[in-house]
Structure 1
Amino acid sequence: MVPRFLQKAAKNIVKEAIKEIQKTLLDTFKDIILGQGTLDRKELGQLVGQIDKMTGEEFEEFLSICFKRLGYVVKTTPKSNDFGADLILINQGNKTVVQAKRYKKTVGSAAVQEVVGAIKYYGANNAIVITNSKFTSSAYALARPNGVELWDREKLIDLILRAKTMNQQ
């Protein structure tokens, strides 16, 4: 039997190693988006597959990189008490609040409710909920009358491609 203090030390070492690997992955994604050249279908598939493995915070940072590449001023909100927004995008005087949901399952109406609250709190003109997954029908039903855009996996891929294309212009 392994002593408890050794188990704890081993867990901490593994956690730190995972953090380092995730940081390296995020740096790699940043290089892909900001670098020259195009993404072929296979590379894009691999990139999206890695997004599925990100933490929520890494997903937010990745989205921030993409939106900055598209010319937005991007502000991040506090990790807790964010009042329903993870990112605030500013472009040509318009302010958009973004709720980022890196999920394995479908995203429900709670995410829409959160970002609707963020519109007023942050004085935004628009709101987007972005996920690497899909949305439930109740999320769509609530988003429509509240003017919230829902960006699913397909729109996320489009965002990545648009951000990447900015390098060629």
Structure 2
Amino acid sequence: MTGRRAFLAAVLLLVAGCAGPAPAAPAPPPPSYNDTDVMFLQMMLAHHEPAAKLLTLGEKQATRPEVRAAATELSAAQAAETTTIRDRLAGWDEPLVSTAHAGLHEAHGGLPLLDDAELLRLAGLTGAEFDSTFLTMLIGHQHGAVELARMETTSGIDPPTRELAARTDETVRAQIQKLLRMVG
């Protein structure tokens, strides 16, 4: 009987050895987003904050109806985009503002900054001077959104965020053209 047990044990070991090594654990899925995606969304939020103040001034103080209407239209579009951006960052459990590279967000990584002093200066203007200055400031500010969007479409990997950036690039460039026609 002992020989038979030894034989069975040997057969079991041989069969177990033929199964090969245990399968490796599946590799974790690749991340759905990268640092560029997060930075784009965070910088767009930072970009929208002063723009909201600028657009509010435009809605209240513009004298030309088409300038006032453009401010209202852009304000509504920006509010919807801000909600989308906040939701994406929250879904990734990422902060709304980066603390990792705080200096990078100053002036949006080198892009022109629309600060409180500029807004205060604009608020003191009236009539055609307000409209012209408002449009010029808005065009410059909107150019920053195009630059941010292009950064994302070049280096981001998250498809919905890249789509947002592509839409931003396209719509903001169209908005800039419309605003430029108002200046002229």
Scaled to the shorter chain, the TM-score interval is under 0.3
Bigger relative contact order (CA 8 A; separation at least 6): 2
State TM-score, norm by structure 1. Answer: 0.26
Larger strand percent: 1
State TM-score, norm by structure 2. Answer: 0.25
Larger helix percent: 2
Q: Looking at CA atoms only, which structure, 1 or 2, has the larger radius of gyration?
A: 2
